[in-house]
Amino acid sequence: MNIVGEYTYNKKALKHSAFIELDNDKHQITLHVNDEVKTYLYQDIHLSKPLGTLPDSIYFSDGGCFTCDKEQHLRNKLVLKKGKLHFGVIHFLERYKMASLYLLACIIPMVYLFFQFFLPSMASIIAKETPVRIQMHLGQETLVLLDESVLEPSKLPLKKQQKLKALFERITPQEFNNYDLKPRLIFRDYPKQANALTLTDGTIIITDELVNLIEDENELVSVLLHEMGHHYHHHIMNSLVSSSSLKFVSMWILRKSSGIEDILLNSGNQLMTLSYSRDMELEADQFAIEYMLKQERPLEMMESIFIKLANISPEMKSKLLSTHPLWKERLNAIDASKPYSQDKKH
């Protein structure tokens, strides 16, 4: 059977009229071009993958290329020695439209469930199983990077810092007594940025601007308890793992713990660009609310500082230092947790 088309020589752009003869019994193809006759075994040729309406092409071992229109049905006439031809994805979708729709209908919900539930669950497990030494290394590395890039030494008076650290020790929940990485408080200056953040080793950084924004001790307590909530629930590690979830999860499933550790140990700079998810923020809020109530501190002060931060948050430039979206939703959760709100329900 003959198929008419065009032939281009190796590394040449000029096209020549040509035709090929297929011999499926001997598994060979004969090319006729410019009074030349060349014979090739099927195993020495390569057939292009089907791509929409583009012509089919055969690539020969000497670099030449034969091309013909789809109407020639080259793909159906050519029976390679290895058996059935390999169809490309686009070709499959075009040829089996209904089957493709059913396949997509099954794949889409599976992909959604995979990313919505499976990956976050696995990321949480990996975060909790991360060795203490790695979390400590990451925390230290991130602090160095922050100090070298955006943070400056605190300008708060030493007595003020000591007073606030004493407060920090008093409000730290007993749950942290058995923690290998206990929360610790440090101060840094970040001009015109009032915020707080937690590192993987439990270090909580409070900026001078935030301290200056505080008008009541309980405002600061609510912020500190919120940051402790991030540490208690491993949110920063969880965010780091989630940012490369497919890579981490595959290594965790294959038990390649050394590969996970290598990636984590070199992720300090990545931590500077992470942000917490909505659920993480709300979970840290609930931690703060719980211990504000246990310590008999007014939740109005938590609302007060959140409103202040919400008013200035659009001015923040650093992702790591501006990870508090959904202020209205968070304020509503605080309001619903107030003792008087609970009394009204009864």
Three-class secondary structure of residue 273 per DSSP: coil
More confident of the two residues 251 and 185:
185
Torsion angle in degrees (nearest 10) through CA of 186, 191, 193, 198: -20
Q: Where are the alpha helices (DSSP H) in the chain?
A: 74-77, 89-95, 97-113, 119-129, 132-149, 158-171, 208-213, 217-232, 235-243, 245-253, 257-265, 268-271, 278-294, 299-312, 327-337, 339-345
What residues does each domain of the chain span?
A: 2-78, 84-129, 131-337
What six digits make up the tokens of 161? 């810092």
Residue type, 198: T
Residues 24-74: tens digit of each pLDDT: 788 889 999 999 999 998 888 888 876 666 778 888 988 899 988 776 677
More confident of the two residues 129 and 149:
149
Residues 191-205: tens digit of each pLDDT: 888 889 999 899 999
Would you say residue 178 has pLDDT above 50? Answer: yes
Question: What is the pLDDT at residue 139?
Answer: 87
Does this model's pTM top 0.85? My answer is: no
User: Which residue, chain included where needed, has tokens 């609970």?
Assistant: 342
Residue type, 202: G
CATH topology assigned to domain 2-78: PH-domain like (2.30.29)
Query: Of 67-76, 91-100, 283-292, where does mean pLDDT reach its minimum?
Result: 91-100
